[in-house]
Chains A and B, each alone.
Chain A
């Protein structure tokens, strides 16, 4: 099946990466950030100074104790900082050598049944790779998905090309997709760009869907809106292609592979390219030798929906480096007047209409989001969306209102009684 996303906007930014895996800079730390798991009430399972290896459980969800987040690498827990409301803020691991001894193994044999696969994913810490729509949360271990989306396309500015990333991992990817058919009774959709199929010999219930078009054609929100909308009833789950390949490798060898291929790009870099780095890598350390002179802003994720962060976020596959621009000094009167004003209204231009993938009425939705009118937003179908779907719309409306943040506030309010 081929779907052409007719709407879309190209965002131009200097420093596009060469789609080739280049020399890997050396990383010294990785971090697991609480911001990646915003709703989770974390319960720590390790202490500072403890040695960890791939698969050691670091913390779990107090409300759903089967969901754990495991360490991606060998090393030692360097620092744990607790933040607001006693939730984890960041857990830093200093990379170390494999000290020998018996590594943690997750027996792949057990993963041949649906229940067994779920246990495999939960114990190995790969379960948080899945997310639900609506609400974009980690699914319940006993949850039911009406469909599963595997996102193997990335149209964000400077994103790595999934085809290049999966070039030498095709078997792992295929194995992962086949295993995932056990998670749901419904259809699986592998969403890729238009080009040769990433997967030959599709298992039962798996369909390959090609999406052509500019961003946001590559966002899973657009795919879900076209193939299996969720603003009425039902829940779908989605997972990224690199996590699927990691699952496939774990099923083959029983050991966890923390390495992901990420794109480093942006005008602040000397040579933008693809590199291999472990999950949660310390970006400041990783990129210290790569950046040009001057103060920089290192953003985990694409320029539109990323956030300035020290470590690579769990669900991001790229890093964008910008020059840090000092805010212009304004006259005190204008500054005071600007401060008092509400955020500038957005103008419903044609460009704004192009910036949104799902087939929902965008301008009424943005208006309802600006005042956080949860009832109207729900009626307009906001449950099918996540912050990343609105990132391009925030950009195309002038950037004065962060609609992703408003959406998150509205979704939290809709989710509350549940």
Chain B
């Protein structure tokens, strides 16, 4: 057998390549502080990956770049160095490394990091990213769709879910579409191939749940803003993903048994 096509490392590098335009857009929008924040995050993640590589022979992964850019886009507040180091350490160690590295984790590292940041340091203010970041996510998303890494089902279902709930709450869906935080969170956090649902039917339910929650948190909660909404929706949806998969499997196997005895 020849070396396979979508090895874990290959997929990691492709995702990292897809997220590079967002890096440029974030620096344009927010300037040098964003670069410092992203650089710090990247260093901390790489340090922890090196520690676990040494101690537990777990290979590193290029998704460190996705985490770094996630912190840049979705946590644009004024954080102290120790706060970022603490949050990123938590995110990468507890979110990914103790399970065995990228590919064996349950939630996305960026989501864990950002959730920690939001809970631990809530006084820091956040404004969402703008339309430039939203536009910068598009080439990456197209690359991932074309190479067959991103599941179109999750993306589509999330868009539908968000749209339905937005219209149900009498809000303007265009607000969500031009919001860079939302588009970034959707493409790289919600649609993360490892943290999303793993069955064909499950992906649709997962996408609807994630999209619905994003819209609900963004509009129904007066004190919340879009970065919070996206991160918490992604967190909840990926925590529900195993349950959704189990339900789909149970349903499909009972249908199969009934049809064919």
Contacts and interface: CB of A to CB of B under 8 A. Distances in A.
Do A and B interact directly, with beta carbons closer than 8 Å?
A: yes
A22 interface: no
Given A351-B149, A364-B245, A232 B260 contact: yes
Given A322-B2, A345-B101, A350-B150, A231 B256 contact: yes
B1 A346 contact: no
Contact of A399 (B1, B57, B256): B1
B56 to A, nearest CB: 8
Contacts of A351: 5-6, 147-149
Given A342-B100, A344-B59, A345-B100, A381 B253 contact: yes
Contact of A364 (B8, B151, B198): B198
Given A364-B198, A381-B256, A350 B152 contact: yes
Contact of B7 (A228, A303, A380, A399): A399
A233 B193 contact: no
A391 B1 CA distance: 9
Contacts of A306: 1
- Best-surrounded residue of A305, A353, A367, A396 (most CB of chain B within 10 A): A353
9 contacts: A228-B260, A337-B53, A337-B57, A340-B57, A345-B8, A348-B194, A350-B148, A364-B245, A396-B6
A347 B8 contact: yes
Contact of B148 (A228, A349, A402): A349
Nearest to A343: B8
Interface in A334-361: 337-338, 340-342, 344-354, 361
Which range contains the number of B residues in contact with the other chain? 35 or more
Contacts of B103: 344-347
Nearest to B260: A229
Contacts, number: 125
A379 interface: yes
- Best-surrounded residue of B148, B149, B248, B261 (most CB of chain A within 10 A): B148
Interface in B218-261: 245, 248-249, 252-253, 256-257, 260-261
Contacts of B199: 361, 363-364
**Interface majority SS on A: helix, strand, loop or mixed?**
loop
A368 B254 CA distance: 19
B148 A344 contact: no
Interface in A210-266: 228-229, 231-234
B46 to A, nearest CB: 16
B253 A379 contact: yes
Interface in B71-113: 100-104
A304 interface: yes
Given A303-B1, A347-B194, A349-B149, A361 B9 contact: no
A106 to B, nearest CB: 37
Given A232-B257, A361-B252, A349 B57 contact: no
Given A345-B8, A354-B148, A399 B104 contact: no
A398 B198 contact: no
Contact of A349 (B2, B6, B245, B253): B6
A385 B151 CA distance: 25
Interface string B195-207: 0001110000000
A400 interface: yes
A350 B149 contact: yes
A315 interface: no
B124 interface: no
Given A345-B101, A349-B193, A363 B198 contact: yes
Given A229-B260, A396-B6, 14 more contacts: A341-B57, A344-B59, A345-B102, A347-B149, A349-B11, A361-B248, A364-B198, A364-B199, A379-B253, A394-B4, A397-B6, A398-B8, A398-B10, A399-B7
A13 to B, nearest CB: 8
B17 to A, nearest CB: 15
A346 B200 contact: no
- Best-surrounded residue of A13, A350, A399, A402 (most CB of chain B within 10 A): A350
A300 B53 CA distance: 38
A37 interface: no
Given A232-B260, A341-B59, A381-B256, A398 B101 contact: no
Contacts of A232: 256-257, 260-261
B225 to A, nearest CB: 31
Given A351-B147, A364-B249, A402 B4 contact: no
Contact of B2 (A364, A379, A381, A399): A399
A154 to B, nearest CB: 18
Nearest to A344: B8
Contacts of B59: 337-338, 341, 344
A322 B6 CA distance: 21
B8 A346 contact: yes
- Best-surrounded residue of B53, B147, B198, B261 (most CB of chain A within 10 A): B198
Nearest to A393: B4
